[in-house]
Structure 1
Amino acid sequence: MREVLHLDNPHPNTYLGVCAAGGRGRAYGGHIAAHAVLAAHRTVDPERAVHSLHGYFLSMGRPDEQVQYQVQTVRDGGTYALRHVTARQRGDELFTLTASFKKVEDAADRHVVMPPAPDPAALPTQSEAADRLWSGIDPASPIRRVVDVRPVLGDADDGGAENGGQHRRMWFRIASGMPDDPALHTAALTYCSDLTVARTAALGHLRATGTTGTPAQDLYLASLDHAIWFHRPCRADDWLLFVHQSPTSGDGRGLTTGQVWTRSGTLVATVNQEVLLRTRRSTTNPEPALVP
C-alpha cells in the first residue's frame, strides 16, 4: 500500500502521484482523494492529525497517468491548521480538497455503540457478494490486490429498503502490513472509503441481466463530492467495519452516509458522499454492469 500511495515531491508544496483505475478507463476517485490528503499532511507539523476533509470531483481522471497535487497553506493556528489542495492532470483540474488538521487535546470521549455485524473471520474470503462489489472495478486495478473486503452477506440482497432507504455493511483492511505512519493510515482509510458508497446510493436503480457484472447496464455513476470526519486514530491494516446507508436519491443525485468502526467497536470515522445518478446514453462500448 505504501507503494500505491507514493508521492514525489519535486518542489515545495507540489506533489506528483499516479492513480489506479476504478472503472474501466477512469481513475479511482478514492486514490485521488487519498493522495490529496497525504500531500496536505506532508506540509503540516507531524504533531497535528487530519480531523476532516471535504473534496469535490470536478472531472474524470485518467488511470496510470501522473497527477499533480498543489498544496496551499490557508491557516496555521495554535491548534488547528487548514490546507487546500488542487489536483490536476494534463493541466485540467480533477479534484479540490480542503483538509483541517489539529493537535491532540485531552477531552471527554464518547460515541454510539457499533451496530451488530458478523466478525470478519466468520465471513468467507470469496463470495458472490464480494464478486458483486468488485464488478465495477477494472480487473487489472491494484485496488483488488491491496484491499481485502468481506461484505456482510445478505445486505446487498435485502437492500435495507424499509422506509425508502438502502444500506450495506462491509469489513475492509489493507491486505498487507503498513508502517507506523498515521498519515499513511489516514490516506489508506480515505482510499478505501470510496469503494462502495456510490454503489450504495444506486441500490434500487441498477438494472442488470446477470450476477457476474459482465452485462451492460444503463446507469452512469460518478462521485460529486466526498467528506470524511476522522474521530479517532486507527490502523488501516486491521479490520474496519464500514456501515453505510443511502437515505435519499432524486434529481439525478444520491446521498450515502456511513460510519467506520474498529473490530473492537470504536467509532473512528464518518463518511458522506453525494453521487451523480444518470441514465447512460447509448454507447457501442458499454462499461461492465454494476450488480447490486
Structure 2
Amino acid sequence: MSQALQDLLDLLDLEQIEENIFRGQSRFAVVPRVFGGQVAAQALVAAGRTVPADRPAHSLHAYFLRPGDAGAPIVYTVDRIRDGRSFTTRRVVAVQHGKPIFHLSASFQRHEEGLEHQEPMPSAPDPDTLPTSEERLRDYGHLDPDVVERFLEARAAVDLRYVDEPPYGRFGEPREPHSQVWFRTNGKLADDPLLHVVLATYVSDMTLLDSVLLAHGRGGWAVGDVVGASLDHAMWFHRPFRADAWLLYDQQSPSAHGGRGLGQARIYTQDGRLAVSVIQEGLVRVPREEPARPS
C-alpha cells in the first residue's frame, strides 16, 4: 500500500466521540476548501458504522451546503431513521463551527435475489495502455507548476487515467460532453465492502463535471476560466466491486443552465459489470474577467 493511500484511509477512519456522533479530520485539497468527496466519504463511513455489516450500502443522496474549512475537524451526527427487515436508512449531518456544511441520506439493504439486467459497458482502451496522471500533468506546460503539484498530491492515493485529454489539458475548443476515466486505489484494500464503496464515493467527486466543461471548451479552476463547486450528489451501488481493481468511470453531461451543470455517469468493473450509477449537479460560473486562452 502506498503511503498516500494509507494517509487517505487514516483520514476516512473517523473517531467515535459519542453514540451516533463521529469526528473526522480535514485536509486541504486542490482548492482552498475541503474536497467534497472527502466529506461525502466520511459521512458514509459515519452512517455505515451504525449499520449491521450484512447490509451493504445501495444508495446515497447528498447536498453540499457550505464550503468546508480544511483547518478544522468535522463532526458527523447520525440519525437512525429506520431499521426494517430488508432496508436500513440513515441521515447524516456534517457540522463545522456550529453550522451544517453537508447533508447525506444513505440506504442499506440485506442481500436479495431478484431480476437481473444492465446496460452494456461502453468501449474503452485498456487502462494499462494509458498515461498516468503524473505523465499527463508533467506534459502540460501551460499549467502553473504549483497547480500541477497540488493535483498530484491530492490524487496520489488513486491511480486515475483519462482516456482522452482532460478539460484543462486541451481547452479553448468545445468537445463532446463525454469523458472516460479509469481509476483504482494505489494499493490493495481490506475486504470490507463498505471500504470499497467509500473509496468509490471519494473518487466520484473528482471528475464528474469534466463533461460539462468539455461541452464549452472550458478548462476549469486549473486555468481559471470557471468557478465551480459541487451542489448535490447521488449514487446507486448496483453490484459488489473492489476499488483497488480497475473501474471505468464513463461520464457525460446532458445539460448546463442557470450557472449549474449536470453530470451523470456509470462505473463499470473491468470485466463489464455495471457497479455504480452517479449523478451530480455543480455550480459552474464564468468569471467576469476571463484569463487568456492558449494560442
Name the TM-score, length of structure 2 as normaliser.
0.85
Whole-angstrom CA distance in 1 between matches of 2:97 and 2:217: 33
1:275 matched residue in structure 2: 282
CA contact (8 A) 1:159 1:168 kept: no
Q: In terms of mean alpha carbon deviation, does 174-183 or 16-25 score higher? A: 16-25
CA contact (8 A) 1:14 1:71 kept: yes
The one-character-per-residue Cα deviations of 1:13-65 (angstroms, maximum 9, x if unpaired) are: 01111233233211000000000011101101111011000000000001242
SS state at 1:45 partner: coil
Aligned-pair distance for 1:139?
Answer: 1.2
Within the candidate set 174, 179, 183, 2:185 is matched to 174
Asked whether 1:117 is paired with 2:117, we answer no
Moved over 6 A (4+): 129-132, 134-138, 158-162
CA contact (8 A) 2:62 2:234 kept: yes
- AA in 2 matched with 1:128: R
Name the TM-score, length of structure 1 as normaliser.
0.86
Give runs of aligned pairs for residues 132-147 of structure 1, distance below 5 A: 139=150, 143-147=154-158
Give runs of aligned pairs for residues 158-237 of structure 1, distance below 5 A: 166-205=177-216, 207=218, 213=222, 215=223, 217-237=224-244
Residues 10, 154 of structure 1: CA spacing in aligned structure 2 closer, same or farther, 3 A cutoff? closer
Whole-angstrom CA distance in 2 between matches of 1:103 and 1:159: 48
Aligned-pair distance for 1:198?
Answer: 2.5
1:61 matched residue in structure 2: 68
Whole-angstrom CA distance in 2 between matches of 1:63 and 1:205: 31
Matched residues, number: 280
Whole-angstrom CA distance in 2 between matches of 1:268 and 1:202: 25
Asked whether 1:45 is paired with 2:52, we answer yes
CA contact (8 A) 1:53 1:97 kept: yes
Residues 262, 64 of structure 1: CA spacing in aligned structure 2 closer, same or farther, 3 A cutoff? farther
Aligned-pair distance for 1:152?
Answer: 0.3
Give runs of aligned pairs for residues 52-131 of structure 1, distance below 5 A: 52-125=59-132, 126-128=134-136
Aligned-pair distance for 1:256?
Answer: 0.2
Q: Cα RMSD over matched residues?
A: 3.1
Give unpaired runs (5+ residues) of structure 2: none
Asked whether 1:30 is paired with 2:41, we answer no
Residues 207, 112 of structure 1: CA spacing in aligned structure 2 closer, same or farther, 3 A cutoff? closer
Give unpaired runs (5+ residues) of structure 1: none
